Amino acid sequence: MTTTADTTAQRRASVEDLVLEHLPLARSVAAHYRNRGEPYDDLVQVAYLGLVKAAQRFDPDTGHRFAAYAAPTITGEVRRHFRDHGWNVRPPRRLQELRARLLAEDADTPEEVLAQRLDATVAEVRAARQASNAYSAVSLDAAHGPEDVPLCELLADDADDTAAVDDALTLRRITAGLDERERRILHLRFYREATQSEIAAEIGVSQMQVSRLLAALLHRLRDQLGDQMPVRDSGDTLERGRSGLLAAEPAWSRIPSSSSTSTSWAA
């Protein structure tokens, strides 16, 4: 007889398995948003949080693949982090620091007085005040458009898999011209997360040949993506300009990371 405790334990184990299996997917989402002003380790933690949420909400009985279900949730979590904590346009650090100090001052204080008090020029005080416009602070309840629809109602749902369908079609298109060996190389590199040496042993060529084959493959994929940002293989990371490819299968589109950051989850 299955008890409630047994069911809870099984559910927790299922969530843990999904999270552990898809950590590379979460890191890949974080990697896509690196170098945008937020620490990469913070982005990884936020992506892990999104992964845990997706694992807790996922219903395997729907027949959907977890990777396609989880990627929009993870991406949404990272984007919310930027919305709540990041700069849309990142000003110089000195202006950021000056802006923070200005927040503690009376808004009616003359700029000349503020400049003297804060050891800055009048021009810097003005620039720091203008920099506030670069910081995102828009309420999701704010009315938008001629019909005053709340902004939150215009945002896509995390579970919306329209992007995943589009991504799958894109992947199918750009990989249609690959031969069996090329597909095998991509599968080993980005799904099995094999090293170039391991791939070389698997397909019977040298590590140098694998390196050249990967470079050529990724350049071809970049060219087929047209005016989207380039694809490139750099050590253990695959960086793509099109974030949506993260959600699509095959799973070799996931990006492995050298980050050793760990995570935890709740039942």
Interval 141-162: pLDDT, tens = 666 566 666 656 655 554 455 5
pLDDT, tens only, 177-209: 788 888 888 888 877 778 888 899 999 999 889
Question: 148-161 burial string, b = 16+ CB within 10 Å, else e?
Answer: eeeeeeeeeebeeb
Q: What is the pLDDT of residue 85?
A: 64
Q: How many CB atoms lie within 10 A of CB 73?
A: 23
Task: Record the pTM.
Answer: 0.37
Most confident of 6-10, 43-47, 79-83, 256-260: 43-47
Return the structure tokens found at 194: 């094999």
Q: 151 or 89: whose pLDDT is higher?
A: 151
Residue 255 and residue 35 in contact, taking contact as beta carbons nearer than 8 Å: no
Mean pLDDT throughout 109-136? Answer: 80
